[in-house]
Homo-oligomer: A and B are copies of this chain.
Amino acid sequence: MQFAISDLIAGITVGLTILPQALAYSTLAGLEPQYGLYSSFIGGFIYALVGGCPEVNIGPTALLALMTSRHTGLGARSGPDYAILLCLLAGIVEFLMACLKLGALVDLISLPVTVGFTSATAVIIGTSQIKGLLGLKGGSGASFLDTIGSVFSNIDKVRIPDFTLGIASIIVLLALRKLKSFSFDSNKKVYKIINGCIWTISTARNALLVLITSCIAYSAQQSGPQPFILTGSVKSGFPRIGLPNFETDIPGANGTLVHQTFPDMVAELGPSIVVVPIIAVLGNVAISKAFGGAGLNPTKELIALSLSNIVGSLFSSFPVTGSFSRSAVNHASGVRTPIGGIYTGVLVLLAVGILTPYFHYIPKAALSAVIISAVIFMIEYEVVKPLWKCSRRELLPGAVTFILSLCLGVEIGLSAGVATDLAFLIHRSARPILSVAKSQTHSGLEYVLISPKHSLIYFPAIEWVRSGVSKAVREYGMIPVVMDCRNLNEFDFTAARGMGSLSKDLSAMGVRFFLLGAGSAIKMVLKEATGDSICTLETVDELESFAPNGDDNELKEVVAPLLKNRNNHKAEKRK
């Protein structure tokens, strides 16, 4: 019972957060406001049934709205068709990822790349809202740079009322956000109530702002011309229920409509069909990690996400995923079970049915302010300083992601960042550090000990190791070479073959080559790849039992008695 009340309160609080976000994000996605509402209720219902982490709220997010907006610019009629189809396809891809256990792919996205990616997205989303904030008309440009350019070329058309309202809204939102950390430290009941009020106001700040600015716009209209650009009429009533449209029409060159078949639509969506699910999974994993810890079943979470998208697409939803901000609200509101999502969903449905006429008066500048004051906290510059201090090369993938995301698009930026990271990883395997030192056995036989500082030697590394060993031979002369395999777990076949050639090369130069302490796995590969042509040692002292190389037979006859003498000498000493 107490759980149910906690869930009810949390559900309603999240609902008050999701409503203004839904309206704002659907504008960001290039769609009419009602589509944001349609996208907001299914996630809660599905997650309540399937999900495992009470805090997670699945619904529209700024990032996915931005990625959807790339495909909605073709017209008021076809835009939603593309967005809803993308939602279905993304859900199907997520389902496939769950079945093939490909959710682990997000492991390939390192922290610097994540930071570069979310920061770039925040900048892109923030800039895309500047027009709304300034009261400039027309859509955003195709890219970040276009948007900036378009703002500057239209700077003379700024509408003072919208601009004032927008800036004021941002200041109020940031102040209310800050307010949350403020509370009276007292046990008196009145202070507790005040603390509760502060928390509620701070948490529901977006809804409050939208309510107040709408009232301002409404009352201004009663006393004269409307000073603000408004959201305009939001379609009332429930969404059409059914499969997405698999065909649509887009405006052609000369004003006529061009029919687009399903393959045409898929071609238009292109890489988004893969990138949107990956981004969605990335977001979802990050959230369930943050709130659910290591106990969650990632496959189950992925299925909850995929069902939210697949079922959502039947209710005209655009692509959805877990929202970090709403999940945090859920957490702070004391949610206990995923049932909270049902209350959120019901609240959104009520709004769709009843509140839509009132959404007409919401000033666009207020919605822009809601988005901007949410995304500026996604810019994570704090991570740069520790990275600079301890691991500068990791800044590169982050910077690549950030810059390419801004200039060429977030998909390209993300892919390039991951590629940079993987290139480093491969380079690390391909160029193991070899520590080279001259050493001697107990009886004073000199040898070169080469220890690779890596746990496996695979194909990209073997040439490097070969030339490293050759260099060591040139430096230390014609004494036996011992490769230390005690910390090595594995050779692959290419590496084993390369070791064979190395051994042969050295042998031709009159230098013996040994592997020290090779494990059974390494020995087996060596046997198959080189046919036992390489000598292995268990301890360094076994070196002494190997005769010097064939060519040196004369030398051997000279050296052997000397060595024997030395051994005797040592043996005597020990006695």
Query: Nearest B residue to A527 by beta-carbon distance?
Result: B390
CA distance A453 to B505 in the complex (A): 31
Mostly helix, strand, loop or mixed at chain A's interface? Answer: helix
In the complex the two chains form, is A387's CB within 8 Å of B108's CB?
no
CA distance A102 to B141 in the complex (A): 39
CA distance A459 to B389 in the complex (A): 18
Contacts of A461 in B (CB 8 A): 107
Contacts of A112 in B (CB 8 A): 493-494
CA distance A294 to B430 in the complex (A): 17
Q: Does A428 sit within 8 A of B, measured CB to CB? A: yes
Q: Does A467 sit within 8 A of B, measured CB to CB? A: yes
Q: Does A311 sit within 8 A of B, measured CB to CB? A: no
In the complex the two chains form, is B529's CB within 8 Å of A386's CB?
yes
User: A505: which of B293, B458, B502 is its contact (CB, 8 Å)?
Assistant: B293
Contacts of A425 in B (CB 8 A): 425-426, 429, 458, 460
In the complex the two chains form, is B426's CB within 8 Å of A489's CB?
no
- Supposing A390-B524, A505-B293, A528-B389 touch, asked if A494 and B110 sit within 8 A by C-beta, the answer is yes
User: A390: which of B294, B387, B460, B529 is its contact (CB, 8 Å)?
Assistant: B529
Contacts of A493 in B (CB 8 A): 110-112, 386-387, 390-391, 394
Question: Which of A110, A470, A524 has the largest count of B CB atoms less than 10 A from its CB?
Answer: A110
In the complex the two chains form, is A107's CB within 8 Å of B470's CB?
no
Category for how many chain A residues contact B: 35 or more
- Tell me the minimal C-beta distance from A149 to chain B in angstroms: 27
A100-131 residues with Cβ-Cβ distance < 8 A to B are 104, 107-112
Produce 1/0 per residue, A401-430, CB < 8 A to B: 000000000000000000001100110111
Contacts of A294 in B (CB 8 A): 466-467, 470, 502, 505
In the complex the two chains form, is A110's CB within 8 Å of B466's CB?
no
- Supposing A470-B295, A493-B112 touch, asked if A428 and B453 sit within 8 A by C-beta, the answer is no
CA distance A456 to B452 in the complex (A): 13
- Supposing A386-B493, A492-B394, A529-B386 touch, asked if A455 and B454 sit within 8 A by C-beta, the answer is yes
Contacts of A428 in B (CB 8 A): 456, 458
A519-557 residues with Cβ-Cβ distance < 8 A to B are 524-525, 527-529
- Supposing A111-B459, A426-B108, A497-B111 touch, asked if A390 and B525 sit within 8 A by C-beta, the answer is yes
CA distance A100 to B425 in the complex (A): 20
Q: Does A487 sit within 8 A of B, measured CB to CB? A: yes
Contacts of A422 in B (CB 8 A): 422, 426
- Tell me the minimal C-beta distance from A509 to chain B in angstroms: 9
Q: Does A246 sit within 8 A of B, measured CB to CB? A: no
Q: Does A218 sit within 8 A of B, measured CB to CB? A: no
User: A111: which of B389, B456, B466, B494 is its contact (CB, 8 Å)?
Assistant: B494
Produce 1/0 per residue, A492-510, CB < 8 A to B: 1110010001100100100
Contacts of A108 in B (CB 8 A): 426, 430, 459-460
Q: Does A464 sit within 8 A of B, measured CB to CB? A: yes
Q: Does A463 sit within 8 A of B, measured CB to CB? A: yes
CA distance A176 to B69 in the complex (A): 70
Question: Which of A112, A289, A294, A394 has the largest count of B CB atoms less than 10 A from its CB?
Answer: A294
Query: Nearest B residue to A488 by beta-carbon distance?
Result: B455
- Supposing A459-B421, A492-B110, A493-B111 touch, asked if A391 and B525 sit within 8 A by C-beta, the answer is yes
CA distance A524 to B391 in the complex (A): 9
User: A107: which of B387, B430, B487 is its contact (CB, 8 Å)?
Assistant: B430
In the complex the two chains form, is A107's CB within 8 Å of B463's CB?
yes
Produce 1/0 per residue, A437-457, CB < 8 A to B: 000000000000000011110
- Supposing A108-B460, A464-B107, A487-B487 touch, asked if A386 and B494 sit within 8 A by C-beta, the answer is no
Contacts of A527 in B (CB 8 A): 390
Q: Using A294-B466, A386-B528, A428-B458 as known contacts, list a sample of 14 further A-B pairs with CB atoms less than 8 Å apart, ordered by residue number in A.
A: A107-B461, A108-B430, A108-B460, A109-B459, A110-B494, A294-B502, A386-B493, A386-B529, A390-B493, A422-B422, A422-B426, A425-B425, A425-B426, A428-B456
Residues of A whose CB lies within 8 Å of any CB of B are 104, 107-112, 289, 293-295, 386-387, 389-391, 394, 421-422, 425-426, 428-430, 433, 453-456, 458-464, 466-467, 470, 487, 489, 492-494, 497, 501-502, 505, 508, 524-525, 527-529
11 CB contacts below 8 A, A to B, read A107-B460, A107-B462, A108-B430, A289-B501, A294-B467, A386-B529, A390-B527, A391-B492, A425-B426, A425-B429, A425-B458
